[in-house]
Amino acid sequence: MIVAVVGPTATGKSDLALDLAEALGAPAGAEVVNADAYQLYRGMDVGTAKVPPAERRGVVHHQLDVLDPPEEASVARYQAAARADVDAIAARGARAVVVGGSGLYVRALLDHLDFPGTDPEVRARLEERAEAEGRRALHAELARLDPAAAEAIGPQNTRRIVRALEVIEVTGAPYTANLPRQEYVRPAVQIGLDCGRATLDTRVEGRVARMWDAGLVDEVRALASPAQGGTGGGLGVTAARAVGYAEVLRWFAGECTESEARQAVVANTRRLARKQMGWFGRDPRVHWLDAGADDLAEQALAVVRAADAGDLPAPGSGPVRRSLGS
């Protein structure tokens, strides 16, 4: 059974994943599979709170440092590579411990989630129609072909309307048929870490301070240098959007002061944590634990043991903490 440690940033997911990997390692071992979109990038270490190799306690890690910063991350590519890692771990008789706060990446790894192909000609034609006829006309067409998709997307989001119609034309199936289902592709148990809003805000502020002291500014400067390659520097569009990097780049561009950039990193990290909690909080399969509990590792291990034995409550039958998402 796969063990996944999920939840908002700054709650201690990486440490708990290592604790569980050590506890669950006998006899064949346990290996960690990263599910943080930005930890895929080489060199983005301080700003993503990536566990340094020397602190990984000898536990093998996968899906870290697999992309260069100018590259664009792809959930579909991640899904194929991470599932191959999980398959290989299982073939070795070991346990996979997934850890990360990128909700779509977690779902792509654990759940039935298909990524329909694209057709540039179809998309271009739909985009031309949106320009000529207006997005409401395309939304009306989507409502006729897939009412549930039209209701979920709404008439204002041209990009998603075009994508939904493209998928329908390419696959011949409703767009909603390709949306993720809360159904594991392999047996899994998700452990979520949560804490009160005030506690998390304090944790975030402390994390940003440690990142600044650990050399975040120098890291961003080195990655953004044209000598590192890439268009407009060493950070591609995806990497440059990462919290911590985007704000420092704005400072470098003269759009704010260092103090303002640092304050923005804190504010945007807090905003990210609330977004993550909203995502994971909607999944009734997550078993929530208090990130500040003194016996957190023991509680998490008990959840895994119960899941292994088939003794966990049915999804959604127990209380779900929503302190950040409420």
Give me the CATH number covering residue 68: 3.40.50.300
Which residues define the annotated binding site for substrate?
9-14
Whether 305 is covered by a domain: the verdict is yes
Between strands 30-34 and 61-62, the pairing is parallel
Domains identified in the chain, total number = 2
Whether 267 is covered by a domain: the verdict is yes
Cα dihedral angle (177, 322, 275, 112), rounded to 10 degrees?
A: -30
State the residue for tokens 């990009």: 159
Same-domain check for residues 139 and 16: no
Helical axes 258-281 vs 103-110, angle rounded to 10°: 40
Same-domain check for residues 88 and 138: no
Write the DSSP symbol of residue 41.
Answer: B
Whether 314 is covered by a domain: the verdict is no
Digit-by-digit pLDDT tens for the chain (326 residues) are 999 999 999 999 999 999 999 999 878 899 999 999 999 999 999 999 999 999 999 999 999 999 999 999 999 999 999 999 999 999 999 999 999 999 999 999 999 988 888 899 999 999 999 999 999 999 999 999 999 999 989 898 998 999 999 999 999 999 987 777 889 999 999 999 999 999 999 999 999 999 999 999 999 999 998 544 433 458 998 999 999 999 999 999 999 999 999 999 999 999 999 999 999 999 999 999 999 999 999 999 999 999 999 998 764 454 445 555 43
pTM for the full predicted model: 0.85
Which residues define the annotated binding site?
7-14
State the residue for tokens 């148990």: 189
Q: What CATH code is carried by the domain that includes residue 125? A: 1.10.20.140
Look at residue 233 in the predicted model and tell me its pLDDT.
52
Same-domain check for residues 99 and 198: yes
Same-domain check for residues 92 and 213: yes
> Which H helix or E strand runs over 294?
none
Same-domain check for residues 186 and 215: yes
State the residue for tokens 């309307």: 161
Whether 289 is covered by a domain: the verdict is yes
Look at residue 228 in the predicted model and tell me its pLDDT.
43
Same-domain check for residues 57 and 198: yes
Same-domain check for residues 173 and 188: no
Whether 320 is covered by a domain: the verdict is no
Look at residue 325 in the predicted model and tell me its pLDDT.
43
Cα dihedral angle (63, 69, 72, 73), rounded to 10 degrees?
A: 20
Same-domain check for residues 192 and 124: no
Same-domain check for residues 273 and 205: yes
Look at residue 176 in the predicted model and tell me its pLDDT.
85
Which residues define the annotated binding site for ATP?
7-14
- Which pair of tokens denotes residue 184? 């594991």
Find out whether 14 and 24 touch, Cβ atoms under 8 Å: no
Whether 319 is covered by a domain: the verdict is no
Same-domain check for residues 207 and 157: no
Same-domain check for residues 57 and 91: yes
